[in-house]
Structure 1
Amino acid sequence: MEKKQSFDLLFCSSFFAFLLVLWPAMSQEVENQREFDYNTNGTRGPAHWGDIRPEWHTCRTGQMQSPIDLLNQRVRIVSHFTDLKINYSSSNATLKNRGHDIMLQWSGSAGYMEVNRSRYFLRQIHWHSPSEHTINGRRFALEAHLVHQSQTGNIAVIGILYNIGQPDYFLSTMRQHFIDISTTQRDKLLNVVNPSRLRMRSSLYYRYIGSLTVPPCSQNVLWTIVRKVRTVAPDQVNLLRVAVHDDSNTNARPLQPLNNRNVQLRIKASVEGAE
């Protein structure tokens, strides 16, 4: 009898964990970020996001929150996988100031990423400085988030990390647009923008299940962090911060507990169409 109860408990725990992973992260990031900030000593800072609105409670109670430290001892290496495919295309886009970051939002079909035969369509890209994710405790100068959504509402994000160095090509093509939005503080409609110019081809990437890093902090987000660290010029990072006019030197959420989640480093994956 005792063995049966133990088996039933284990089965139920595994079953609900399985359902949790499958449950879609339906809530997108907030469009207006002015209700919260990144001041760790203030009442609207990251430690209090979950108290500002009832629908943001996951920021405080969630057990699968992002960002995390991608520590070597936590990472399980998975080799010879070809489960990630990227097929981006040019489309019209709008540049927006959301309050703490600059977001480039595609209005048409900008392509998709495909993971295990599930397609996630590219919706937008935005930037955090310094980086939100760290590798072995190391924080980087900048992190780009490419946010995708499936037809069923599931969210997948590709993260790209940047060190200070040579200018980033994609940001160079956007420089004048960033200057314009900094001056006018209004949304700017752009002509065709090609996300493939991000040039993020890599044969190694981290994979884990986490959350959005801004309210409502929705969970069950599929994260793919490109292991190859790219470079960005100091003035490019500064321009992204200046353009939002939020009087802050950062828009990076503090690291969150791992809580026994699996983190994989996938090797020799086929990343198609990224350049």
Structure 2
Amino acid sequence: MKKKFVYPFLAVSFIFTLVACSENTKEATNTNESKGKENHSTQTAHWSYNGETGPEHWGELDQANSMCVNGSEQSPINIEFSQVKTEKKTGNIQIQYETTPFTLVNNGHTVQANATTDSNSLLVEGNTYKLVQLHFHTPSEHQFNGHNLDMELHLVHKDENGNIAVLGMMIQEGKENEKLAPIWDVLPKEETGEDIAVKEPIDLQGLLPQDQTSFHYNGSLTTPPCTEEVKWVIFEQPIQMSKEQVQAFQQLFPDNHRPVQSLNDRELYEIN
């Protein structure tokens, strides 16, 4: 009698083992997919830059967005030059950029270029962050003395522990930006499901302004979930883009900026 129940028992056990393995594999796959999407925003609740899903409502859309309303170190901010600490710090930042291939996506909130290598780094306060992606906002998210510029470029970096540092460059209308032309040549007009290859690599070092005086402060992501403990470095000297380049982006995203947030008790200092 015992032998009659051995094989059914083994069969049932085998089925349960297969189901368990299947579920574990599915969970691991979902986790890996979420880690692979190196977007400036990491949460899935729908949000936008206007109306009932706009910045003033981000905190209501998802519990994960609580920092958008409860955080004390939020970004962007108005950089009032008179509030910048007068003592100058040197040697606190090092940028190591090279000509790099990118892929491009329109994620519905901005145009984002994803780095295909980890060869670019930003050293801030002794910690090394690798460039993950860059993207654009219009008008600028940060303000200088209460004024927005035409656009703003964010280069998002992460260290080995997932901590974030963002290098920001203000953009003003002027001459054509040849360094960014390869991206503008393939600007996706609609939200994309797959990355688009940028035909030519981007000269990141050549993209930087000649004067690299920069403002530093502790802030957050400027999109949901508004995660804090982000190191911000904003160049004082803007870079330029042509009127045609600015308008080409604004046709896709007429306004994709978060309003400035309170500085509160944070220190804002300048590095030459």
TM-score of Structure 1 vs Structure 2, range by shorter chain: 0.7 to 0.9
What pairs with 1:190-269 in structure 2 (closer than 5 Å)?
190=198, 192-243=201-252, 249-267=254-272
- Cα distance in 1, alignment partners of residues 45 and 169 from structure 2: 25
Distance 1:256 1:183, change over 3 A: closer
What is the match of residue 196 of structure 2?
188
- Work out which of the residue numbers 88, 97, 114 in structure 2 matches 1:88: 97
CA distances 1:129-170 after superposition (whole Å, capped 9, x unpaired) = 000000111110010000000111110001100121112222
C-alpha contact (below 8 Å) 1:101/1:241 kept by paired residues: no
Question: What is the TM-score of this pair, normalised by structure 1?
Answer: 0.78
2:30 corresponds to 1:29: no
What is the match of residue 133 of structure 2?
124
Kindly report the root-mean-square deviation, in angstroms, between the aligned alpha carbons of the 2 structures.
Answer: 2.1
What is the match of residue 38 of structure 1?
49
What pairs with 1:46-125 in structure 2 (closer than 5 Å)?
46-125=55-134
Distance 1:126 1:74, change over 3 A: same
C-alpha contact (below 8 Å) 2:45/2:62 kept by paired residues: no
- Cα distance in 1, alignment partners of residues 270 and 153 from structure 2: 19
C-alpha contact (below 8 Å) 2:152/2:168 kept by paired residues: yes
- Cα distance in 1, alignment partners of residues 119 and 140 from structure 2: 25
Q: Which segments of 5 or more consecutive residues in structure 2 lack a partner in the other structure?
A: 1-37
C-alpha contact (below 8 Å) 1:89/1:109 kept by paired residues: no
Q: State the Cα distance separating 1:116 from its structure 2 match.
A: 2.6
Distance 1:91 1:229, change over 3 A: closer
Structure 2 residue matching 1:146: 3-state secondary structure: strand
**Counterpart AA for 2:41:** V
**Counterpart AA for 2:270:** L
Higher relative contact order (CA 8 A, sep 6+): 1
Structure 1 residue matching 2:250: 3-state secondary structure: helix
Distance 1:208 1:184, change over 3 A: closer
C-alpha contact (below 8 Å) 2:182/2:198 kept by paired residues: no
Question: What is the TM-score of this pair, normalised by structure 2?
Answer: 0.79
Q: State the Cα distance separating 1:196 from its structure 2 match.
A: 2.1
- Work out which of the residue numbers 150, 163, 172 in structure 2 matches 1:154: 163
Percent identity between the aligned chains?
A: 30
C-alpha contact (below 8 Å) 2:107/2:192 kept by paired residues: no
Structure 2 residue matching 1:241: 3-state secondary structure: helix
Q: State the Cα distance separating 1:171 from its structure 2 match.
A: 2.3
- Cα distance in 1, alignment partners of residues 217 and 120 from structure 2: 22
Q: Which segments of 5 or more consecutive residues in structure 1 lack a partner in the other structure?
A: 1-26, 268-275
C-alpha contact (below 8 Å) 1:155/1:221 kept by paired residues: yes
Structure 1 residue matching 2:53: 3-state secondary structure: coil
Q: State the Cα distance separating 1:80 from its structure 2 match.
A: 5.0
Distance 1:124 1:37, change over 3 A: same
User: Which shows bigger deviation, 216-225 or 114-123?
Assistant: 114-123
